[in-house]
Amino acid sequence: MSPLSLELGLGLLGLVLLLVESFASVPRKLIAYAAIGGLLAALAVIVSGAAGSVPDSLKEFYVVDPLALFYKGFAIIATLATIILSLEYAPIIHQFVATHPERTKEAGLGEFYSLPLFVCVGMMVMASAVDLITIFVALELVTVSFYVLVAFMRRSAASLEAGVKYLILGALSTGLLVYGMSWLYGMTGELSLSGVAYKLAHWEGNSAPILFAVGLMLAGLAFKVGAVPFHIWIPDVYQGAPTPVTAFLSVGSKAAGFVVLTRIVGTFLTPGSVVAGPVIQILLILGGATILLGNLAAIAQTNFKRLLGYSSIAHAGYLLVALACIHTGGLKMTSGEVAAFYLATYLPMTFVCFLILSAMRAKGYGEDIASLKGLGRANPTLGLALAIALASLAGLPLTAGFMGKFFVIFATVLEGYYTYLAIAVIGAATGFFYYFKVILAVYSKPDGPSEGPTPDLGLLSKVSLAVFVAAILVVGVYPDLIRFALVK
């Protein structure tokens, strides 16, 4: 069985579900369950190792290495969690999509459950793509699907505004990326990354045009992952988009950006490459600025979704620094694997936060940090889960978040980048401040005299919440769980 058939299968499932949505009047929940079933089957194939290899004729476009399989699994888990989250958030989607919310029951939900499948297909292809055309098409499949998802609540001014902002900046980053690609092709005459790497290692003559191309491509990708100074869209889009989409953006879209970045940076940093020095400098400076700005701007936030947006910027900074540390032999991991590990720890903690945020929103609470007050008393389980996730985001020892940051910091030490070591530590210390502010809110008394309705979750969400919290705690003491999946 070729891994390509997984992508084809999931894409086909998405198409069938769209047809079901338009022709059959089944309960929309069934569409979500069908999508979840398909994703679970695909995950089972990947975990069992049944996803074989691809024929040699495809090797120039599409590889199946442990990193690719890891990111494929990552994409599937993120999509699963998003659809489960969407089930929780469905009433609000319906309220802001339907023309007459009181007359219809489930308008627009079918698309909302099936579109993530296309994003997932894009991310899975991207995980394997080693050719500029394949990378571009997969990246755009993800981005265009996200345009629709972000602006999905067409009767919500905030969602539309987020959609327009994401659209314009996303299209801008695409323009930069393609223009960079065209120059890279013009200079090297190659579209496959292996060909480009060979040409870069044996480059003679003026390297300025190559640097121009590399800079444009890095700028385009920095937009996608939300690195300073290309981060301006993140807080607005995160705040305005529907909560499940925000979660998907912060995990899925980020991972997609980083898998491409890992492959492309790997090409630029091939031994003997003419652009290796500048690329490392660009990554480090972007990463350092991103860590500092993300963490410092997060302190002033009062909206929880916005705070998570800035926190996601800060995490992107650590990931960029991780990619720049290429001599990580002491960790027995490559720089790409350190970044993949970091993303894998980032997934559960982010989804726990957004699951709880959805549960609160569905019960009529706002999205401000202040509205979390009293959660620890009203529903102690949810309160504890949120506290663990936030502690992990901050990087408290014995949580997954600590291990992720630990590897990145260890990598900077191995490289001798002591400036960036200092920045990473300062960023982490700042993080403690604002994450613990939220934990404090969870365990403080509510402002109002009477308590509101108790936020609660459906069965599927409870199961995934438990799995994610367990993952945070287990990986915190036993990081090899993820490392084995990565370094086969």
Partner 1 sequence: MLENYLPVLMQMLMAAGFAGVTLLASVLAGKSAKRNKMKDSAYECGMLPLGEAQPRFSVKFYIVAMLFVLFDIEVVFMYPWAVIFKDYVAVFGAAIFWWMLSFVGILLVAFLYAWRKKALDWSS
Partner 2 sequence: MVTLNHYLLVSGLLFSIGLVGVVVRRNILTIYMCLEMMLSAANLTLVAFSRFRLVEGLPDYNAQALVFFTITVAAAEVAVGLAIIVALFRARQSVDITAVEKLKG
Pick between residue 23 and residue 484 the one whose CB is nearest to partner 1. 23
DSSP 341-387: HHHHHHHHHHHHHHHHHHHHHHTT--SBGGGGTTHHHH-HHHHHHHH
Q: Contact 262/324 with Cβ under 8 angstroms?
A: no
Q: Which stretch binds partner 1 (CB under 8 A): 14-22, 94-102, 426-434, 450-458?
A: 14-22
Query: Does residue number 203 form part of the binding site for partner 2 (CB under 8 A)?
Result: no
User: What is the nearest approach in angstroms of partner 2 to the Cβ of residue 195?
Assistant: 10
User: What is the nearest approach in angstroms of partner 2 to the Cβ of residue 168?
Assistant: 6
Task: Locate the DSSP E strands across 377-455.
Answer: none
- By C-alpha distance, which of 428, 251, 429 is closest to 353? 251
Look up residue 15 and give its two tokens: 């198409």
- 214 SS3 class: helix
Query: Does residue number 148 form part of the binding site for partner 1 (CB under 8 A)?
Result: no
Q: Contact 290/420 with Cβ under 8 angstroms?
A: no
Query: Does residue number 167 form part of the binding site for partner 2 (CB under 8 A)?
Result: yes
DSSP state of 454: P
* Alpha-carbon dihedral 428, 317, 325, 218, rounded to 10 degrees: -170
Pick between residue 57 and residue 450 the one whose CB is nearest to partner 1. 57
DSSP state of 286: H
Query: Does residue number 176 form part of the binding site for partner 2 (CB under 8 A)?
Result: yes
Pick between residue 19 and residue 26 the one whose CB is nearest to partner 1. 19
- Residues 264-303, one symbol each (x = binds partner 2 by CB under 8 A, - = not), give -------------------------------------xxx
User: What is the nearest approach in angstroms of partner 2 to the Cβ of residue 56?
Assistant: 19
Among 8, 47, 157, 299, the residue binding partner 2 under the rule CB under 8 A is 157
Instruction: Answer left, alpha or beta for residue 399, where phi above 0 means left and psi between -120 and 50 means alpha.
Output: beta
Window 18-37: residues binding partner 1 (CB under 8 A): 18-19, 22-23
How far is it, in rounded angstroms, from Cα 200 to Cα 130? 16
- 101 SS3 class: coil
Q: What is the b/e burial string over 441-475, where b = at least 16 CB atoms within 10 angstroms of the residue's CB? A: bbbeebeeeeeeeebebeebbbebbeebbebbbeb
Q: Which does 18 bind (CB under 5 to 8 A by kind): partner 1, partner 2, none?
A: partner 1
Query: Does residue number 15 form part of the binding site for partner 2 (CB under 8 A)?
Result: no
Q: Which does 19 bind (CB under 5 to 8 A by kind): partner 2, partner 1, none?
A: partner 1
Q: Find residue 62's DSSP bridge partners.
A: 129
User: What is the nearest approach in angstroms of partner 1 to the Cβ of residue 147?
Assistant: 13
* Alpha-carbon dihedral 482, 400, 265, 297, rounded to 10 degrees: 160
Cis link prior to 209 (omega < 30° from 0)?
no
Q: Which stretch binds partner 2 (CB under 8 A): 13-21, 180-188, 348-356, 398-406?
A: 180-188
User: What is the nearest approach in angstroms of partner 1 to the Cβ of residue 18?
Assistant: 5
Q: Which does 22 bind (CB under 5 to 8 A by kind): partner 1, partner 2, none?
A: partner 1
Residue 443 amino acid letter: Y
Query: Does residue number 168 form part of the binding site for partner 2 (CB under 8 A)?
Result: yes
Identify the residue whose tokens are 């599409």.
Answer: 62
Pick between residue 174 and residue 267 the one whose CB is nearest to partner 2. 174
Q: Which does 157 bind (CB under 5 to 8 A by kind): partner 1, partner 2, none?
A: partner 2
Q: Which stretch binds partner 1 (CB under 8 A): 17-25, 40-48, 171-179, 444-452?
A: 17-25
- By C-alpha distance, which of 3, 8, 13, 10 is closest to 50? 3
Q: Contact 336/262 with Cβ under 8 angstroms?
A: yes
How far is it, in rounded angstroms, from Cα 442 to Cα 368? 12
Among 165, 199, 263, 361, the residue binding partner 2 under the rule CB under 8 A is 165
**Residue numbers at the binding site for partner 1 (CB under 8 A):** 15, 18-19, 22-23
**Residue numbers at the binding site for partner 2 (CB under 8 A):** 132-133, 136-137, 140, 144, 147-148, 151, 154-155, 157-158, 160-165, 167-168, 171-172, 174-176, 178-179, 181-183, 185-186, 189, 191, 235-236, 239-240, 301-303, 306
